[in-house]
Each structure stands twice: as C-alpha cells, then as structure tokens.
Amino acid sequence: MTDHALVKRIREILAGRNAGDSFITYQALASALGLQPPGTIQRVAAALEQTMREDVAAGRPMIAALVISRAGDMPRRGFFDLAVALGRFPEDPRQHRAAWEAECAAVLETRSEASS
C-alpha cells in the first residue's frame, strides 16, 4: 500500500467509527489496515502524522487524535510533539491532555455534522 493510499484508508477507517467507539489503538488500526510486521506501528504513525499536517493546513480538527496507545488512554508522545510543532497545541505538556480532549471533541462534532 502506498503512503498516499495508507493515509486515505486511515481517514476512511477513522471517519467510519461510531461515537461510542471513537478511539482505536495504533495496533488495532494497523490490523484494520491489514499491515504486517515489521514496522507496522511506524508506518501507521507516519501516515497519521501526514493526516495531522493535512488537517491543520486545511483548518480541520486532527482526526489522528482518535488513535491512542494501548499502554495508555492517549496518543503517543509523537502526536503531541507534532501537534505543538504545527501550532495546534500549547508547548506546556501539562496542557496537552486538555488540548487533546478538545481536539477529540472537535473531531467528533465535525463527524456528527457530516453525517447529519
């Protein structure tokens, strides 16, 4: 699967999730994409970073916010680092959870508006 096709497929999978099951782990997303090791999580992370760049450039909420680490209840560190670099999140890590929660709410609101 090309990088462009991977990004497109990730958007389709995330956009198709119901509000009740809005979060998905990186591993579950890799499985849904049919990716095989090695390097599956790295490929997913790189594609998610591309969606973040595209979403910020287009003024949309970052759909990548819906992907979380199985080791916790939030995205991996790289998500926050890029969100800060893109100017979407504040630099202070103590504010990241609130910024992420607001981003998730914006994604879900946008999805519900699109399906109405």
pLDDT at 80: 98
Of 57, 75, 72, the C-alpha closest to 14 is 75
pTM of the model: 0.92
Q: Dihedral sign for Cα 52, 84, 57, 97, please.
A: positive
Residue 46 token pair: 């790189």
**What are the φ/ψ torsions at residue 54 (nearest 5 degrees)?**
-65, -45
pLDDT at 97: 97
pLDDT means per 10 residues, the chain with 116 residues, are 89 84 90 92 96 97 96 92 98 97 92 65
**What are the φ/ψ torsions at residue 68 (nearest 5 degrees)?**
-120, 165
What is the span of the domain harbouring residue 49? 3-115
pLDDT at 3: 86
Structural domain total, the chain: 1
